[in-house]
A and B are shown apart, each in its own frame.
Chain A
Amino acid sequence: MDFVWGGMLFLSLTVGVLTGQGGVVADAMLAGAGEAVRLCIDLCGAFMLWMGLMNVAEEAGMIRRLSALLQPVTARLFPASAKAAAPITLNLAANFFGMGSAATPFGLEAMAAMQENNPKPDTATADMCLFLCLNASAVELLPTGVLALRASCGSADVYAIVVPTFLASLLCAAAAVLGCWLGRRWSRRTG
């Protein structure tokens, strides 16, 4: 992450200075940071709603029972994360039904649960890598945003993209699992 982030900043600043647009780049950075603050405030409401509800389910024992129920499935994909089974599933389910605002707090909860069993807290575990890659591949039943845009632009068949989108995201998820498996093998070999 250090490398990626540093590289992006270095590249944009150098290119900006070379093309005489250093000021534009600096302004854009400032705007980006401001946007993050606004986004966090927007997110805060959604987080409160979902974390509150999740805590109701947690204290009532629903999360624990759900975890136990889902254990056999998640244990295969995430062998070291028994405690995170419920939030992982809830996160993937929220993504699946296109509820992005609910997916994030569940995802963060899952990360926190996985972090508890992490022997090296500053390094990602294999389960975390896979979890993130699955999140990044976004298996979604209904891409609501895209459908809305198609409808507003007057498409003749708004829903024509649903099946290919779903299949493409499945292939994407399969590639994510494969990529993580390769990454794990590679990192084991290099130590």
Chain B
Amino acid sequence: MMLSFLLYGMVKGEDIYGAFARGAGKAFPLIARILPYMAAMMMAISGFRACGAMDFLNARLAPLASALRFPRELVPLFLLRPFSGSAGMALLADVYETAGVDAFPSFAASVMLGSSETIFYTIALYFGAVGVKKTRYTLPAALFSMLAGAAASVWLSALYYK
């Protein structure tokens, strides 16, 4: 991809060095524009995790999860994943350790993590960058897709797990 961009520019006889510098120069103002939004979001996420509301939710949701035959090891992962990528990976490592890498919960957790994203972070970043404040139905639709993804992960894992 990098090479094709460069080659195309060279073939066209463009001033690629200058073009690169002009593009890279736009990166810093962009970072400066999104930083306040990232800071606001990460501050809220970090505080939310520290206050213990997560553990509370986790404890409430565990019985519901087992009623739905959703592996209970996956509940904390499901709750934290939309907020933080690194926390998601840490929790996945945790599941691997407690359940064993090749056990079913680990398998399902891998699938779930691989097929989901850090929704809150992405939304804050992308809308923050262009200054959109009313995000309308983006968040509900994204959460709906995440819920569907989690259900699909468990279902497909059950199909593929040997």
Write the residues of chain A forming the contact surface with B, with a CB cutoff of 8 angstroms.
1-2, 4-5, 8-9, 11-13, 15-16, 19, 21, 24-33, 35-37, 39-40, 43-44, 47-49, 51-62, 94, 102, 104-105, 107-108, 111-112, 114-115, 118, 121-124, 128-129, 131-133, 135-138, 140, 143, 145-146, 149-150, 153-157, 160-161, 163-169, 171-176, 178-180, 182-184, 186-187
Interface SS, B side:
helix
B109-151 residues with Cβ-Cβ distance < 8 A to A are 110-117, 119-120, 122-127, 129-142, 144-149
CB within 8 Å: A-B pair count: 344
Digitize B42-75: 1 where CB-to-A-CB distance is under 8 Å, 0 elsewhere.
Answer: 1111111111110010000000000000000000
Question: Given A59-B14, A138-B115, A149-B93, does the pair A1, B145 have CB atoms closer than 8 Å?
Answer: no
How many Å from the CB of B76 to the closest CB on chain A? 16
Contact A12 B48 (CB under 8 A): yes
Digitize B22-57: 1 where CB-to-A-CB distance is under 8 Å, 0 elsewhere.
Answer: 111011101100110011111111111111110010
Interface SS, A side:
helix
Residues of B near A157 (CB, < 8 A) are: 102
